[in-house]
Structure 1
């Protein structure tokens, strides 16, 4: 709980410093979809049954100071070998600390919801996380580097979800079309199933598209 309280305090400070960046944006939105070729490892045993898993997200940004922006992401996870099939929903409230052509940096809180089946056992749980997202533009090119990271530890459950990669932007009339490629890792220790029974890792390369309005 102390970790969560510190995270909330950090977010409040970030919100105060984010006011200029927020005010620079009137209204904006992002929608995207990723195809992720991932392979799971459960309780330190690798599944070796990699398959394509989908992830979809939408974000809304506005000009109102102190009120965070919002992002929702869906990720489907499956491992037939371990009889594991669950969905992860990320409900993210974040502030823009920086936003220009060279660097953008967001920070906020992510409330994750897990529901489905883990090694034949049904579960439906929530988990709080700290969230960050950064994009670094390469000058005089349409290419950027990006990374996003969510991590949290609460009630003996810990979750880390991170991705990093490269992004190519194609400017359209009403929006930017971004092509993405990168690597994503989910590293979770679910306490819901007892000690050393809920270790889960899922990692692999992904590719995707994003519309930035």
Structure 2
């Protein structure tokens, strides 16, 4: 059960950290058009709902340093909000309420999460860079279901430990590059992955500041098995655009 997981230990592999010669600060933001699918329940019998597509945002900040063995840190924040209306094909139990088959149910998800990532730079040059580490995703969400005369809601929260990886490939003399990063977990009957791939373009590149534009695709799956009595099987995927500053 994810709610029983203790806070993760820091990543401590003795990898060579080829970070910025001095401190490097990265600040970025993304807008993501998410196609939402899946469902939830108070037990393992998850019911699918028709969710609406939403445009959501995320922000991140990362600090890199040249000190060996001490990991770099990246903090990211995102919100996911969606709702929809579905006519039930079978009965549905949630939040202490029983919704009968044939009932039209309004469903909703409101979830915030903050990622705390500790990582090492395995490679770092103009052609290829590779980061590996661990993420603690602090999740705080609320699911709702309602129909005529019935209203149900359940909140869930917890820290989910995830593996973290990021690779960047540069195209010298063009300003273009490729970037892919992701977080992954599979434990018991719970599975979480969150990955993205993007074409990047360096709009500014000088000693004072670097400005990089991103255009890509992101996919996020949240399959929870009993986090605060909540079961989910949710998928979010779609294109995104982003910008990142490097000081």
With the shorter chain as reference, the TM-score category is 0.7 to 0.9
RMSD, aligned CA: 2.5
- The structure in which a higher percent of residues are helix is 1
Deviation of the 1:17 alpha carbon: 2.6
Partner of 2:161: 128
| Conserved? CA contact 1:128–1:154, under 8 Å | no
Q: Cα deviation per residue 1:148-170 (whole Å; 9 max; x = unaligned)? A: 01001345422100000111002
Q: TM (normalized to structure 1)? A: 0.87
Deviation of the 1:192 alpha carbon: 2.3
- Please list, as runs of the form range in 1=range in 2, the aligned pairs for 1:113-152 lying within 5 A after superposition: 113-119=138-144, 120-152=153-185
Higher relative contact order (CA 8 A, sep 6+): 2
Mapped partners of 2:223, 2:165: distance in 1: 20
Mapped partners of 2:158, 2:229: distance in 1: 17
1:18 aligns with 2:12: no
User: Cα 1:85–1:54, aligned 2, differ >3 Å: closer, same or farther?
Assistant: same
Mapped partners of 1:85, 1:149: distance in 2: 22
User: Cα 1:172–1:137, aligned 2, differ >3 Å: closer, same or farther?
Assistant: closer
| Conserved? CA contact 1:132–1:149, under 8 Å | yes
| Conserved? CA contact 2:158–2:227, under 8 Å | no
Secondary structure of 1:83's counterpart equals strand
| Conserved? CA contact 1:184–1:203, under 8 Å | yes
Unaligned runs of 5+ in 2: 40-46, 85-106, 145-152
Of 198, 201, 217, the residue aligned with 1:168 is 201
User: Cα 1:126–1:156, aligned 2, differ >3 Å: closer, same or farther?
Assistant: farther
Q: Cα deviation per residue 1:50-72 (whole Å; 9 max; x = unaligned)? A: 12100000000011110000000
Mapped partners of 1:46, 1:132: distance in 2: 32
| Conserved? CA contact 1:176–1:212, under 8 Å | yes
- Please list, as runs of the form range in 1=range in 2, the aligned pairs for 1:98-117 lying within 5 A after superposition: 98-117=123-142
Mapped partners of 2:125, 2:63: distance in 1: 17
1:42 aligns with 2:52: no
Partner of 1:52: 55
Unaligned runs of 5+ in 1: none
Q: TM (normalized to structure 2)? A: 0.75
Q: How many residues align?
A: 204
Secondary structure of 1:65's counterpart equals coil
Mapped partners of 1:108, 1:148: distance in 2: 11
Mapped partners of 1:197, 1:96: distance in 2: 36
Deviation of the 1:194 alpha carbon: 8.9
Deviation of the 1:190 alpha carbon: 0.7
Q: Larger C-alpha radius of gyration, 1 or 2?
A: 2
Partner of 1:62: 65
User: Cα 1:172–1:142, aligned 2, differ >3 Å: closer, same or farther?
Assistant: closer
